[in-house]
Amino acid sequence: MIDNENLIYACGMTYHIMNIITKEVKIFFSKDGGGIGAIGLHPSKKYFAVAEKGQFPNIYIYDYPDLRLYRILKKGTENSYSSVNFSFNGNSLSSVGSFPDYTIAIWNWRQVCSKFNFQ
């Protein structure tokens, strides 16, 4: 649950945000084109991470509820992310790649260079 009314989940090439009260569903497509490997929610629920699949996929971090792209984490795995999770205090993000490298990465996600601030 992203908040008291909205649920986020992955479904193949897309991820969805569904309002469980109104049943409205917003659909967002994979940016890298290989599908969605994992989704992680920040403990404050102000951010969520979408870890993708494909050749050298990225992790996209969005702010919520505005759904603006906030950061892009690059070169963490070769083909796909199988898991992504924020630390308890939200300062770090861990990711696990899938075959062939199974890379475990710990990201200082607020400090990465790919920053987008549209304010």
List the domain boundaries for the chain. Answer: 36-107
Residue 49: left (phi > 0), alpha (psi -120 to 50), or beta?
beta
CA atoms within 13 A on the CB side of 13: 5
pLDDT tens for the chain, 119 residues long, are: 999 999 999 999 999 999 999 999 999 999 999 999 999 999 999 999 999 999 999 999 999 999 999 999 999 999 999 999 999 999 999 999 999 999 999 999 998 754 444 33
* pLDDT for the residue 111: 85
* pLDDT for the residue 23: 97
* 46 Cβ neighbours under 8 A, 6+ residues apart: 63, 64
